[in-house]
């Protein structure tokens, strides 16, 4: 069912941050940093995959994602919703249901047998595709999925996520150079503000996370040996 309520972007960001904290999808640890997929340290980690286990929260967030995309990109902008393997698949399916559109999903690499396909479902050269994933850090992981979509002849000028790190300035350029606009519900800055408001973590941890968000590259350089 297509959502008919349209909260402001600021309200969506605050409520999304609240829900991520409520289900303990947010992890802060400055003394024993997490290792990101890039191999670099971070005092923050988020697990959006947990959201599929909370029906009320996942329903609300998927409504938010659908209305955000329609408001920003247009109500008739897309003809196909594609979820990226693996976390983007359930969210892609739920957004496709809300927007009454066909759903496909994209493998990270060809499956190696049969048709050796990367795209499952029906996607045509005439399709205008919205790529859905759970989150993005610097935008780089989206490019392979976008390439797979464009190889079919379809267009992909938009990608939507629940969560964007929002701290790496080169992200917008990475996607922009690819002709892609990012839509997201909230960032680390929104989560930190909500965590501070609710005292979700101790003051020392929140201060350390704030320092990381202000200058992530310098923080990472200083903690590479941790």
Q: What is the pLDDT of residues 69-107, one digit of tens each?
A: 999 999 999 999 999 999 999 999 999 999 999 999 999
Does residue 226 lie within any of the structural domains? no
**Once rounded to an integer, what is the mean pLDDT over residues 106-124?**
83
Q: What is the C-alpha to C-alpha distance for residues 160 and 24, in angstroms, rounded to an integer?
A: 22
Which residues are within 8 A (CB) of 90 and not within 5 positions of it... i.e. 6 or more apart? 52, 83
Name the token pair of 93: 């399916």
Q: Has residue 150 been placed in a domain? A: yes
- Residue 60: its H or E element: helix 55-73
CATH number of the domain within which 123 lies = 3.40.50.2020
pLDDT in tens, 141-150: 889 999 999 9
**Following DSSP, what letter does each residue of 128-192 receive, concatenated?**
EEEEEEEEESSSTTHHHHHHHHHHTT-EEEEEEEEEE----THHHHHHHHTT-EEEEEEEHHHHH
| 131/84 Cα distance (integer angstroms) | 7
Would you say 5 and 98 are in contact if contact means Cβ atoms under 8 Å apart?
Answer: no
Q: Is residue 2 part of a domain?
A: no
Using DSSP's 3-state secondary structure scheme, residue 95 falls into: helix
- 186: containing domain: 9-220
- Asked if residue 3 belongs to a domain, the reply is no
Number of domains in the chain: 1
Using the predicted structure, report yes or no on whether residue 165 has a pLDDT greater than 80: yes
Question: Under 8 Å CB-to-CB from 75, ≥6 apart: which residues?
Answer: none
Q: How far is CA 224 from the centre of its chain?
A: 26
């Amino acid at each position: 069912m297509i959502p008919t309520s349209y909260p402001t972007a600021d309200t969506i960001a605050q409520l999304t941050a609240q829900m991520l904290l409520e289900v303990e999808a947010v992890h802060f640890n400055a003394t024993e940093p997490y290792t990101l997929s890039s191999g670099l340290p971070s005092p923050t980690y988020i697990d959006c995959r947990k959201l599929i286990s909370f029906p009320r929260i996942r329903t609300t967030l998927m409504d938010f994602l659908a209305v955000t995309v329609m408001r920003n990109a247009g109500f008739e902008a897309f003809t196909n919703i594609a979820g990226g393997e693996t976390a983007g698949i359930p969210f892609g399916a739920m957004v496709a249901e809300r927007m009454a559109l066909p759903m496909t999903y994209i493998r990270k690499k060809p499956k190696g047998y049969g048709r050796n396909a990367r795209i499952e479902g029906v996607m045509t050269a005439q399709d205008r595709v919205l790529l859905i994933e759970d989150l993005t850090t610097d935008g780089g992981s989206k490019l392979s999925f976008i390439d797979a979509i464009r190889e079919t002849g379809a267009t992909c000028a938009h990608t939507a996520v629940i969560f964007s790190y929002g701290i790496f300035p080169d992200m917008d350029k990475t996607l922009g150079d690819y002709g892609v606009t990012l839509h997201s519900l909230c960032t680390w800055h929104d989560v930190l503000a909500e965590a501070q408001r609710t005292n979700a973590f101790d003051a020392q941890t929140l201060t350390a996370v704030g320092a990381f968000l202000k200058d992530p590259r310098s923080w990472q350089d200083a903690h590479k040996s941790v």
